Amino acid sequence: MLRIGFIGAGGMAQALARGLIAAELSPAERIICSCPRSDVLLLDQMRRLGCRTTSNNGHVADDSRILILAVKPPVIPKVLKDVAEFITPQHLVISVAMGITTRQIEKALPPKSRVIRVMPNTPALVREGASVFSCGSNTLEEDAGTAHRIFESVGICDQIEENLLDAVTGLSGSGPAYMFMAIEALADGGVKMGIRRELAIKLAAQTLLGSAKMVLETGKHPGALKDDVCSPAGTSIQAVHQLEKIGFRSALITAVEAATIRSKETGGLF
């Protein structure tokens, strides 16, 4: 069983703790997390899962063998300073902080520290996340498998070269925001055409869910699936034409590009 510590007790830490417990990778009593005493609600939520809590980051590092840094990028320098003296060759440090590279983290920790950088996304909260990770320069062969098992407990997980993780941030890391906007806009269209709001949202959300499942389970290209919906002279091809005229695809491509650039900028502020 894994001995896991979380620095941070927010949504991602809670999602991962639930996933680890449900997948029987680690019992709750072997999970410990820390966050400031002022975040009483977050600590209470972790305790309800059966996890141990503290406000001492060093205590978490000392008590665990896998240390997950589940905090925002600006907090990372302080966290690394708090835990550095407790990190040993037996530790695997996993960071989910956007834009912060494995090299930057390695430099703040003892020599030869094992570091993995992960970009998860918020659907991990309902165990439908999309996580991608990259290994640092000192990781062991089995560390990639460990990271894969941890993040697969809350969705799908894959490995990629680190220079592409900022692009992953722009695509799947920030992607839920684009999809929520799409659901809201589709629902607004339904309301405009007379459908009641509650039903319109449900239909829009289920449409995105079902469409995504078709892509993942059929293996067909999304363009081919789109073509299957668009009958000659039908309603769907008329709608697709309008989306093309207003730059729907271009807008999404630009969104991914903008988020990727911002992720790179965040790492530069470390």
Q: pLDDT per residue over 61-84, tens digit each?
A: 999 999 999 999 999 999 999 999
Q: Does 173 appear as a known binding residue?
A: no
Mean pLDDT of the chain: 96
Interhelix angle 141-152/11-22, rounded to 10 degrees, is 100
Q: Does 87 appear as a known binding residue?
A: no
User: What is the value of pTM for the model shown?
Assistant: 0.92
* Contacts with 13 (C-beta within 8 Å, 6 or more apart), sequence order: 6, 33, 46, 68, 70
Distance from C-alpha of 254 to C-alpha of 29, rounded to nearest angstrom: 45
Q: Does 234 appear as a known binding residue?
A: no
Distance from C-alpha of 150 to C-alpha of 64, rounded to nearest angstrom: 15
Q: Does 56 appear as a known binding residue?
A: no
Q: Does 15 appear as a known binding residue?
A: no
Distance from C-alpha of 136 to C-alpha of 266, rounded to nearest angstrom: 19
- pLDDT tens, position by position, 145-164: 999 999 999 999 999 999 99
Distance from C-alpha of 128 to C-alpha of 19, rounded to nearest angstrom: 11
Q: Quick check: 268 pLDDT over 90? A: no
- 90: burial class by Cβ within 10 Å (0-12, 13-18, 19+)? exposed
- pLDDT tens, position by position, 20-71: 999 999 999 999 999 987 788 999 999 999 999 999 999 999 999 999 999 9
Q: Does 57 appear as a known binding residue?
A: yes
Displacement of CA 122 from its chain's centroid (Å):
5
Q: Does 72 appear as a known binding residue?
A: yes
Q: Does 73 appear as a known binding residue?
A: yes
Q: Does 8 appear as a known binding residue?
A: yes
